Amino acid sequence: MAVSAVYGVRIDVVEEGGRPVRFTWNGRVYAVRRVIDHWVTLRADHVAAAGGRGVPQRRHWRVEAGSDRAPGVFELRYETLGDEWTLARVVE
């Protein structure tokens, strides 16, 4: 059974075509090896804060990242309202 740790910390992400290809967390760069899952949730609770720019989205990416010797599974989250990436969860 997989155990996950919740973080919710800001991270720097490099994207290509709207998908994450690498991210930096705690001073270490993680290369995304494959996308396991991707989904979008709408943030209807933040419509007023969007200032008429539509319904804000939260984009979730479950990815395998790291080196060949030390891969891990990470859940990355992108908030369209604040243009902010966070590391939501690490699955161990």
Nearest to 74 by CA among 59, 60, 62, 92: 62
pLDDT of residue 59: 93
pTM: 0.81
Least confident of 18-32, 48-62, 67-81: 48-62
pLDDT of residue 54: 66
Whether residue 74 is predicted with pLDDT greater than 90 in this model: the reply is: yes
Joined together, the tokens standing for residue 60 give 């979730």
The CA distance from 16 to 9, in Å, is: 22
Q: What percent of the chain has pLDDT over 70?
A: 83
